[in-house]
Amino acid sequence: MDTPSLALEIDRLTIGYAGAGEPAVKDIGFALKAGTIACLLGPSGCGKTTLLRAIAGFLPPSSGEIRIAGRCVSKPGEVLNPEKRQVGVVFQDYALFPHLTVQDNIAFGLHGEPAAHRKARCSDLLELVGLQSLARRYPHELSGGQQQRVALARALAPRPALMLLDEPFSNLDVELKERLTLEVRDILKAERMSAILVTHDQHEAFSMADEIGVMDQGRLQQWGSSYALYHQPNSRMVADFIGQGVFLPARRSAQGIAFELGELPLQQSQVPCDGEFDVLVRPDDIIHDDASPLQARVVRKAFRGADFLYTLALDSGDQVMALVPSHHNHTIGEPIGIRLELDHVMVFARQ
């Protein structure tokens, strides 16, 4: 049988909790191509987990529809049981069976299959997640990262149509988290798996996902690649939430717009028609340049290994951030030369 081209379709989905006022998820729609890893990202309480739980089959929709691999699995009054919708779920707390060994945890989802097939699949997955030598251990004898890999292998075992990962790295320390996000991505790609990850950590989203959906207050604000979200945010909320940056007051000028750091060419159609507006300036838009006549004073600095993230005060008192190679070690209060190098000019109505 051919693999359906869309692993998941969410169509005008609204989900409310009984007794709660506003729905937690409001009129959301998107589609996920087979083999794609997507991430739902957004601030606490924006509805990510609610949406994931509805996809898994744990919550009914108030309106709209969910289709997995072309089949309708949820619509009002009709919700297919979680175990019948071909989804694999990896939870925040791993939820491994404590009385089963690693290999028996992985084989759990394969009951009913011939023993030889279970053994072969289990052995392939142990190799894929790099845990062959720990097959006979119990969950309490494993580190957090190892437990997470077992949880992933267990969910992958029956070859689900879609994998759902609910904040899978939130219990791990930063270093392990960074390594594991890349490993998990490789494992999912090796299995050609379609997956949705929920997180509020954008670095995790950037390293794992092909596509990211930014949610806010129950609504999907933007769906796109991490590059598009960072460089072409479609709203002030996305611009603010993704990456670092500041909004500086700007005004119309003959060439486009003018603001404290200079003038930028911009088509008039790209400038908000009425009201006041701001321009988005990211840390990578500000270049440290000793020869520049434009000066800013170091207010704060954070050492990040290869570079410093400087917070700099302009003459007006407004602040910008700049990523500067760490051999440029300036002191707090010192004025340094800066210049603007802005590729994508993004302006937003002032709030």
By CB under 6 A, tell whether 89 contacts ligand ATP.
no
Q: How far is the CB of 55 from ligand ATP (least distance, A)?
A: 12
Would you say how long the chain is, in residues? 351
DSSP secondary structure, 265-303, as one string:
E--GGGS-SSS-EEEEE-GGGEEE-TT-S-EEEEEEEEE
Q: List all residues 6 or more positions away from 239 whose beta carbon is below 8 Å from its beta carbon.
A: 233, 245, 247, 280, 346, 348
By CB under 6 A, tell whether 50 contacts ligand ATP.
yes
Nearer to ligand ATP, 170 or 253 (CB): 170
Alpha carbon of 235 to those of 14, 39, 52, 142: distances in Å?
Answer: 22, 18, 24, 44
DSSP letter, residue 317: S
CA 179 – CA 182 distance, rounded (Å):
6
For the window 225-264, what string marks contact with ligand ATP as x by the rule CB under 6 A? ----------------------------------------
By CB under 6 A, tell whether 49 contacts ligand ATP.
yes
User: Exposure pattern of 46-77 as b/e (b: 16+ CB <10 Å)?
Assistant: bbbbbbbbbbbbebebbebbbbbbeeebbbee
Q: How far is the CB of 227 from ligand ATP (least distance, A)?
A: 24
Q: What stretches of the chain show up as alpha helix (H) in DSSP?
A: 48-56, 102-107, 115-128, 144-156, 174-190, 202-208, 226-231, 236-241
CA 76 – CA 190 distance, rounded (Å):
36
Contact 191, 128 (CB under 8 A): yes
Which of the ranges 44-52, 83-91, 182-190, 263-271 carries the binding residues for ligand ATP, by CB under 6 A?
Answer: 44-52
Which of the ranges 48-56, 132-140, 245-253, 272-280 carries the binding residues for ligand ATP, by CB under 6 A?
Answer: 48-56
Q: Site for ligand ATP (CB under 6 A): which residue of 7, 8, 13, 24?
A: 24
Q: How far is the CB of 52 from ligand ATP (least distance, A)?
A: 8
Nearer to ligand ATP, 44 or 268 (CB): 44
Nearer to ligand ATP, 17 or 97 (CB): 17
By CB under 6 A, tell whether 180 contacts ligand ATP.
no
Q: Which two tokens stand for residue 136?
A: 């006979």
By CB under 6 A, tell whether 221 contacts ligand ATP.
no
Q: Which residue has the tokens 């359906």?
A: 4
Number of residues binding to ligand ATP, judged by CB under 6 A = 12
For the window 194-213, what string marks contact with ligand ATP as x by the rule CB under 6 A? ------x-------------
By CB under 6 A, tell whether 45 contacts ligand ATP.
yes
CA 214 – CA 228 distance, rounded (Å):
12
Nearer to ligand ATP, 46 or 229 (CB): 46
By CB under 6 A, tell whether 61 contacts ligand ATP.
no
Q: Site for ligand ATP (CB under 6 A): which residue of 17, 58, 97, 303?
A: 17
Binders of ligand ATP among residues 155 to 174 (CB under 6 A) are none
By CB under 6 A, tell whether 272 contacts ligand ATP.
no
Nearer to ligand ATP, 24 or 110 (CB): 24
Q: How far is the CB of 290 from ligand ATP (least distance, A)?
A: 43
CA 196 – CA 28 distance, rounded (Å):
15
DSSP letter, residue 327: T
CA 25 – CA 14 distance, rounded (Å):
5
Report the interface residues with ligand ATP, using CB under 6 A.
17, 20, 24, 42, 44-50, 200
